[in-house]
Amino acid sequence: MSTIDDEPIKTPLTLDDGVDFAVIEHLFFAYRDFTADPDAILAEYGFGRAHHRVLHFVNRLPGLTVAELLDVLRITKQSLARVLKQLIDDGYIVQVPGPRDRRQRELYPTQKGRDLAMELALPQSRRIRAALEEAEPGDVAAVERFLRAMVNPELRPQMDKLPNGRSK
């Protein structure tokens, strides 16, 4: 019988073990630095990453309801409540009663909220553009295809609803 084996293993896991450790780690490091940019700005406003996400999607989908926002963020009503309340109290987001269903609250950014959303997006956009500078034609499409394919299939339609350009 084997006793409990707490012998140290001295050989590393490598790509030979059949796992894409390189991509796994690239994603980890990339995402960490990607979020560090806005985090620093948010701290000046007394906000956190949760505020960023709410502000971002309200700016990208103005007029979405609380339920729709919860569906995009995949968090609970109670988790959203605190950050949304702060953003409203501080004048970054306004609520408008739904036109058909007056129980609903349509969420819109104010000019202040739009400005902050842009300020937060800028360093991220700069980082992305710098990363793509060295890229060859077709790489951008390849990266977007890959990232999209990494998302659970049932959530991909949701991504397609986000405005892609030339909004009127």
User: Which residue, 72, 59, 77, 74, is CA-closest to 158?
Assistant: 72
* Two structure tokens written together for 31: 């995402």
Written as one letter, the residue type at 56 is H
Binding flag, residue 112, a second copy (CB under 8 A)? yes
* Whole-Å CA distances, 168 to 63, 111, 165: 15, 18, 9
> At closest approach, how far in Å is the CB of 67 from a second copy?
18
Binding residue for DNA, selected from 35, 37, 62, 66, defined by CB under 7 A = 66
8 binds DNA (CB under 7 A): no
Binding pattern to DNA, positions 77-116, x when CB under 7 A?
A: xxx-xxxxx---------x--x-xxxxxx-----------
Q: Choose among 81, 32, 34, 38: nearest CA to 56.
A: 38
What φ, ψ does residue 31 adopt, rounded to 5°? -70, -35
Residue 84 binds which of a second copy, DNA, none (CB < 5-8 A, kind-dependent): DNA
Q: Cβ of residue 77: shortest distance to a second copy, in angstroms?
A: 18
Is residue 166 within the footprint of DNA (CB under 7 A)?
Answer: no
Q: Applying CB under 8 A, which part among 39-47, 78-86, 97-105, 136-144 lies near a second copy? A: 136-144
129 binds a second copy (CB under 8 A): yes
- Number of residues engaging a second copy in binding (CB under 8 A): 87
- Angle at which helices 66-73 and 49-60 pack, to 10 degrees? 120
From the list 40-48, 77-85, 97-105, 155-163, the region that binds a second copy by CB under 8 A is 155-163
Q: Where are the beta strands (DSSP E) in 51-153?
A: 64-65, 93-97, 105-109
Is residue 157 at the binding interface for a second copy, with CB under 8 A as the rule?
no
